[in-house]
Structure 1
Amino acid sequence: MDAYREQDQAGPPPPPGGGEPWGAETAWGDAVLDAVFTQSDIGVHVLDTELRIVRVNAVVAGIHGIPADRVLGMPAVEAYAAYAGVRIDDAVLREVLATGRSAADLLVAGHSPGVEHTEHVYSASAHRLQDSRGRVLGVVITSTDVTDRERAQDRLRLLHDAHERIGTGLDVERTARELVDVTVPEFAASVVVALTDAVFRGQDPALQSRDTVPLLRCAATGRTEHGPEVPEAGAVLLPGIFGDRLPTAEGPFPPAAPGAGPATRLVVPLTVRGQIFGAVAFQRLDDAEPYGTEDRALADALASRTANCLENALRFTREHIVMTALQSWPQPREEAAQSAVDVARRHRPGGSGAGSWCDVIPLPGARVALVVGQVESPGPGAVATMSRLRTAVHSLTTLDLDPHELLARLHATTLRLAAEGDGTTGIRTAAPPAPAGVPEAAPLLDAGAAATGPRLAPAAPAAPHPTAGCTIAVHDPVDGRLDIAGAGASLLVVVHPDGTADSRPLDDGPLLGGEGPPFACATLFLPEGSTLCLASAGEGPRAEDLMAALAHPERDPEAMADDVERLLAPDRVLLLARTRHLPPGELAEWDVPYDLSAVGTARAHVEDRLRRWKHPADPFTVTLVVSELVTNALRYGAAPVTLRLIADGPSLTCEVTDAGQAAPHLRHAKAVDEGGRGLLICASLADNWGVRYTDEGKTVWAELGGDGA
């Protein structure tokens, strides 16, 4: 370099036309060189054409710790590897020499002598040196310490990775495992995630307390090949690696465990709004770089993300339990109350809470109602709506309405539920942590960010109006009549005993809560042994596959249900019903002349039939109820009048049908009144009574138990 400087001092004569003399330019050059080599904070390395070190400036010799007197004349690759732990790519430098194209912003890593565990990152640029005649003299390398910048970017990348990979499922142990996978080895040599015993059991975590220490169990661990030892999954960790107490907001970083450096271990609580879910311990090797303030802020951000995901997982678990309870079917013993159909049910839960349901509801006169429905827009709200609609169906069936009339009432109920939902205001809740890259990510890396509370999210938009599909079929085992009505598009197939099938006995109709009545309806008369296949709305199955599964109707309904279930998508329900007809020994029917004198004859018929059936019902009570019902039909109804007795196990149903449409109503007669007590007597003696209407008239019925009550 001195030779080059002497050449500059003996430069050409002063330039023509005036200007500063060449000597002044040389003085400027000397000043620049002195500033670069003595005052600049950018490292300068001068190499010759053999890539040997010719000169380095004070930054390289001082801050970087490279001894200038020892490295001069050494090959740069060997010198920097030996004294700075930096690996230089020899091929890149030779390409700069050969082509003259500079190499900029090359990132190299190294460590200062004596602090091998502290790694630094440098940004280096290489440029070719040549004189005024174009002769190549060597290479000059400038280097800048960008360790802080690269570490900040690494923390941002790790935080972004955490937002992408933590919380992909709704299981607490899986969430803990994801935190370990994200942070080993990038952030720690070993990680232990512990959860409270309550969280392991799916219960609400307790609020933080200064006096009590919840039981912690190891949920997930991970370590590098040479990382510190970690406990086994399921092990109790208090007292233990987390100390005698859990970390708190006032002191989130307890002292290190014995044998570990005071700054190579971090313990961070997993908390959300004062509820403690557990804790996580990060630990580096003893000779590794200690955790700094920025690392602690990053650990707190990672723990916050994990705690929010744990809260979501617990909320899902609780909601799933509630949805399962709401969507559970009655036990088989509850279906023993009806003998009109043999039933097989199936439900394929998919975890989304689709709000599907099916019911078998006994009706007066040995009839039975088969109901299948599904609320649109799966979720907890759909299951809640399903539960309310299901309750409404059970209540409306007591009115003895035709299926299409029942759907009209159910449609009004759905609209009322929608109106109630419109009056609900949005609720502001704590928003989940923002992903890396947005303006909110930077404060997470600030040490003061740990003290900030949860952010408030904007009010959630109102939920859409609930709509539902529903199919109701009422089967009468006396004559095989089947009345069907449907809202929406449910699966409905009727298979006859001879194997023929009707896959479209009912057209699709509007949804409940949608356009509204009229709903599609139909009336069929089915022979005994017919099979009804009903399933909630959803995709598939293919018609040919379904028909193959329903073939051979002589099979047991349970076997047929197994075959059909395999074809259904998750979250759908299936109801298969094999129809029966009442045997002659359980049914008696008489035409009653339209004359009050026929009341006595009707009583005699009933007494004789009860004696022949050996039925346990009290004859006096039954004949008294029959007498009042027949008298009421003859006085206020219209011909023809029919009396029917139905024996359904120990219970007995008395039905009187006439052509009149006048609605009978219960009266409370005065002491001096001569009439008006007929229905009051029936209501007092019978277990239940009611009226159902048909196109031909009405039927007044009363049910009596086997004890005659």
Structure 2
Amino acid sequence: MSGGEDLPGLGEAVLDALFTQADVGVHVLDPRLRVLRVNPVAIGMRGVEQESLIGRPVSEAYAPLGVDVDVGMFREVLATGRPVREALMRSRPLADPDREHAYSVSVYRLRNAEGRVLGLVATTVDVTERERAQGRLNLLHRARERIGSSLDVERTARELVDVMVPGFADGAVVALTDSVLRNGAPGPAARDGTLPLLRCAAAAGPADERPPPPIGSVLLPGLFGPELPSSPMVLAGPEPVGGDVAAEGPLLVASLSARDQVLGAVAFRRRPGAEQFTAEDMELVRGVTSRTAISLENALRFTREHIVMTALQSWPLRQEQDTRRAAEIAQRHRPGGTGAASWFDALPLPGARVAFVVGKVEDPGLSAVATMSRLRTAVHSLTTLDLDPHELLARLHATVLRLAREQAATGETDEPTAHCTFAVHDPVSGRFDIARAGRSLLAVVHPDGSLDTAPVPDGPLLGEEGPPFASTSVVLPEGSTICLASPSLTEQDGPTVEQLAAALGHPVRPPEELADDVGALLAADRVLLVARTRRLPDDDVAEWAVESEFRAVGPTRRKAKERLREWESAVDPFAVGLVVSELVTNAVRYGAAPITLRLIRGEGTLICEVDDGALAAPYLQHAKAVDEGGRGLHICATLAESWGVRYREDGKTVWAELSTTPDAEPEPRRERGRASGEGDGQPKASSSRADGGPEAAG
């Protein structure tokens, strides 16, 4: 048989097979959109005689069968010849009125060999199961996107209802245990299946039926069955619950539990006569309730940690006496419930200085509170090293990177980053050192009312790569006002420069009033620190230049004791003399000119500071019994409350702080000092390591 040979009756045979055997519905329409022919599997044809449709307009013919025909689509295909492929149509056919069906419809124009339009042919395929499966996937995707976004228990319950009604059910009731609603720990699942006390947390239902139970009402076990099901279950005939929930229509209940702990339960219901819940529906509910339970657990954990965080933030800073002498401080924090992990601190430093710290963990989440606490602790620890602000931020940056590695090892994807501003005010010299990581609010108001809102530019966040942290040093006049606040959510959010100037441009007003005005401009959960700088009185500071000779030790010690008598200080003069001798001797032997001794009088304390121009690092040495030297810093550490070293670009300062000893007996102690080798300019008890050289003892 040749390729071009036609078989008699082939066309009629193909059409007959298509109309009688194919699973695809076929509808043939004339140019006036009247039905010419349909096959038995056509849309809506089950149980309907074909003769009742033939010759009738398509919209009129299919309307009684529950099929809404898009006549405009048919007319467009007839006029343009452009086919429509796989258009989706939904209907409830007479043969199955309780179940909505989905059909894929394709429409083509028919023409004969001469090009005359003969009508249309429409094919339909029942894709109900495919669309239902896709709908379940879409619903599950929506649940994963929307449920748990708020980290709030009641909003999570509301999100579950919003996702599932009306797409999955006509009504829903979410009930949570009393302890969960009070942000407490959920209770373990009862072995006998008994239900804990449940209260309605969220509900929705059709407007034309009886209203759902009110929020907060106690729900009796009848709604969820006699026992809380371990997996989603369809209840055949639920009992009415106090007249609030209608016992009509299919009802599916499921527990909200995680890690063998019960958080609540949920019930989904459909209208009377609606389609029953299927096994696929129960599998969908299993996934959604599992997601909801985990979100509720996360919300509980977040709420508990946020309560702790808010307590930490709102706890008033107790200004120690030393910080009061350096600055007058006001603080503000207005909790807002968002969990923005911000903190502030005012920390006393050696030399009567004070450090101001304001920070915030970026992108707060479940680990924000822990990160904030660890960073705050790290700052407290690093301040004991007396580091420059920019060096302290560098160490804190390394801490944040280590925390990121720890979280990555535990499977957490969020890497912590943080803003932090660290500033140090010296009330002796008025020097103000500051460094910034991120974009915390920073403003300095001078006594004349002039405002500087950018003494240091923004820097990279802690935990992010970028240039070194910006830092600067300035000398502030006494009475300057420093304003520090944690950053806003965005750079555009927050007070403008004009608003800050209006709030802070009053140098005579006390910091408490300024903090009220600035705090009113800040959003909730931002912390604020306002400090008015002070200078120590001249009578509380004594300073002498020291020759870089051992013979200068004795006169310097005598000057220190003479000033101690002038101050009528209760600090033991023998201890002061010995500490001054050892620190000055160390500076002469291992340091470099210029050398300066400074005494700072405090309330109940005396600070001895010796500056020199070398960067040699003194260290505490344990001398042997037969050694003649090497006990200098050990003696200082024994007599002083604390001691340490801080470095500058041009040298270092070794300091020791002594406290008052009212019962001191100076004269016997002085004799004992001579017996121990205290003499004018005799370096007997000092130790230092100079530039990596060998250990040496005086």
The worse-fitting range, judged by mean Cα deviation, of 234-243 and 161-170 is 161-170
SS of corresponding position for 1:231: coil
Deviations 1:389-434 (A, max 9, x none): 43344334345x3x52x643552464366357547764458xxxxx
Return the offset for 1:562: 3.9
State the structure with more CA Rg.
1
Q: Give the Cα–Cα distance (whole angstroms) in 1 for the partners of residues 502 and 17 of structure 2.
A: 91
Partner of 2:606: 653
Return the offset for 1:576: 2.3
Tell me whether 1:171 sits opposite 2:152 in the alignment. yes
Q: Give the Cα–Cα distance (whole angstroms) in 2 for the partners of residues 92 and 604 of structure 1.
A: 107
SS of corresponding position for 1:278: strand
Equivalent of 1:703, from 643, 658, 662? Answer: 658
Tell me whether 1:245 sits opposite 2:227 in the alignment. yes
Partner of 1:222: 204
Q: Give the Cα–Cα distance (whole angstroms) in 1 for the partners of residues 534 and 6 of structure 2.
A: 120
Return the offset for 1:369: 2.5
Deviations 1:421-461 (A, max 9, x none): 547764458xxxxxxxxxxxxxxxxxxxxxxxxxxxxxx5x
Partner of 1:440: none
Partner of 2:48: 66
Q: Give the Cα–Cα distance (whole angstroms) in 2 for the partners of residues 91 and 663 of structure 1.
A: 91
Unmatched runs of 5 consecutive residues or more in structure 2: 241-245, 589-593, 665-698
Return the offset for 1:157: 4.6
Compared CA separation, residues 330 and 655, structure 1 to 2 (3 A):
farther
Compared CA separation, residues 255 and 602, structure 1 to 2 (3 A):
same
Query: Residue 182 of structure 2 aligns to which amino acid in structure 1?
Result: R
Partner of 1:291: 277
Query: Residue 286 of structure 1 aligns to which amino acid in structure 2?
Result: P
Compared CA separation, residues 261 and 596, structure 1 to 2 (3 A):
closer
Q: Does the Cα contact within 8 Å between 2:322 and 2:602 map onto a contact in 1?
A: no
Q: Give the Cα–Cα distance (whole angstroms) in 1 for the partners of residues 114 and 545 of structure 2.
A: 130
Tell me whether 1:622 sits opposite 2:572 in the alignment. yes
Q: Does the Cα contact within 8 Å between 1:534 and 1:575 map onto a contact in 2?
A: yes
Q: How does 1:505-544 map to 2 (within 5 A)?
A: 520-524=471-475, 526-535=476-485, 539=491, 543-544=497-498
Partner of 1:201: 182
Partner of 1:185: 166
Q: Give the Cα–Cα distance (whole angstroms) in 1 for the partners of residues 469 and 124 of structure 2.
A: 82
Return the offset for 1:532: 2.5
Q: Give the Cα–Cα distance (whole angstroms) in 2 for the partners of residues 634 and 258 of structure 1.
A: 91
Return the offset for 1:111: 3.7
Return the offset for 1:177: 1.9
Higher relative contact order (CA 8 A, sep 6+): 1
Q: How does 1:234-383 map to 2 (within 5 A)?
A: 234-249=216-231, 252-258=233-239, 264-272=250-258, 274-318=260-304, 320-321=306-307, 323-324=309-310, 328=313, 331-335=316-320, 338-339=323-324, 340-346=326-332, 356-373=342-359
Q: Does the Cα contact within 8 Å between 1:374 and 1:470 map onto a contact in 2?
A: no
Return the offset for 1:194: 1.9
Partner of 2:446: 496
Tell me whether 1:472 sits opposite 2:423 in the alignment. yes
Partner of 2:430: 481
How many residues align? The count is 635
Partner of 1:418: 401
Compared CA separation, residues 34 and 314, structure 1 to 2 (3 A):
same
Q: How does 1:387-466 map to 2 (within 5 A)?
A: 387-399=373-385, 401=386, 404=388, 407-408=390-391, 411-412=394-395, 414-415=397-398, 418=401, 421-422=404-405, 426-427=409-410, 463=415
Query: Residue 117 of structure 1 aligns to which amino acid in structure 2?
Result: D
Compared CA separation, residues 49 and 208, structure 1 to 2 (3 A):
same
Q: Does the Cα contact within 8 Å between 2:38 and 2:50 map onto a contact in 1?
A: yes
Q: Does the Cα contact within 8 Å between 2:437 and 2:461 map onto a contact in 1?
A: yes
SS of corresponding position for 2:98: coil
Q: Does the Cα contact within 8 Å between 1:191 and 1:280 map onto a contact in 2?
A: yes
Compared CA separation, residues 517 and 624, structure 1 to 2 (3 A):
farther
Partner of 1:6: none
Partner of 1:578: 532
Query: Residue 338 of structure 1 aligns to which amino acid in structure 2?
Result: T
Compared CA separation, residues 31 and 159, structure 1 to 2 (3 A):
same
SS of corresponding position for 1:270: strand
SS of corresponding position for 1:295: helix
Q: Give the Cα–Cα distance (whole angstroms) in 1 for the partners of residues 300 and 535 of structure 2.
A: 50
Equivalent of 1:556, from 485, 510, 513? Answer: 510
Compared CA separation, residues 38 and 673, structure 1 to 2 (3 A):
closer
Deviations 1:499-519 (A, max 9, x none): 245556557788777689897
Q: Does the Cα contact within 8 Å between 1:628 and 1:678 map onto a contact in 2?
A: no
Q: Does the Cα contact within 8 Å between 2:500 and 2:518 map onto a contact in 1?
A: yes
Q: How does 1:109-124 map to 2 (within 5 A)?
A: 109-112=91-94, 116-120=97-101
Return the offset for 1:192: 1.0
Q: Does the Cα contact within 8 Å between 1:44 and 1:143 map onto a contact in 2?
A: yes
SS of corresponding position for 2:215: coil
Q: Does the Cα contact within 8 Å between 1:166 and 1:306 map onto a contact in 2?
A: yes
Q: Does the Cα contact within 8 Å between 2:435 and 2:469 map onto a contact in 1?
A: no
The worse-fitting range, judged by mean Cα deviation, of 467-476 and 286-295 is 467-476
Q: Does the Cα contact within 8 Å between 1:255 and 1:262 map onto a contact in 2?
A: no
The worse-fitting range, judged by mean Cα deviation, of 200-209 and 638-647 is 638-647
Query: Residue 168 of structure 2 aligns to which amino acid in structure 1?
Result: F
Return the offset for 1:242: 0.5
Q: Give the Cα–Cα distance (whole angstroms) in 2 for the partners of residues 570 and 473 of structure 1.
A: 27
Q: Does the Cα contact within 8 Å between 1:389 and 1:410 map onto a contact in 2?
A: no
Q: Give the Cα–Cα distance (whole angstroms) in 2 for the partners of residues 53 and 594 of structure 1.
A: 121
Partner of 1:210: 191
Q: CA RMSD in A?
A: 5.4
Query: Residue 608 of structure 2 aligns to which amino acid in structure 1?
Result: E
Q: Give the Cα–Cα distance (whole angstroms) in 1 for the partners of residues 407 and 267 of structure 2.
A: 43
Query: Residue 531 of structure 1 aligns to which amino acid in structure 2?
Result: T
Q: Give the Cα–Cα distance (whole angstroms) in 1 for the partners of residues 230 and 15 of structure 2.
A: 56
Return the offset for 1:221: 0.8
The worse-fitting range, judged by mean Cα deviation, of 409-418 and 48-57 is 48-57
Query: Residue 475 of structure 1 aligns to which amino acid in structure 2?
Result: D
Q: Give the Cα–Cα distance (whole angstroms) in 2 for the partners of residues 32 and 166 of structure 1.
A: 53
Return the offset for 1:288: 2.0
SS of corresponding position for 2:92: strand
Compared CA separation, residues 297 and 353, structure 1 to 2 (3 A):
closer
Q: Give the Cα–Cα distance (whole angstroms) in 1 for the partners of residues 458 and 36 of structure 2.
A: 90
Q: Does the Cα contact within 8 Å between 2:636 and 2:656 map onto a contact in 1?
A: no
Query: Residue 253 of structure 2 aligns to which amino acid in structure 1?
Result: V
Q: Does the Cα contact within 8 Å between 1:43 and 1:60 map onto a contact in 2?
A: yes
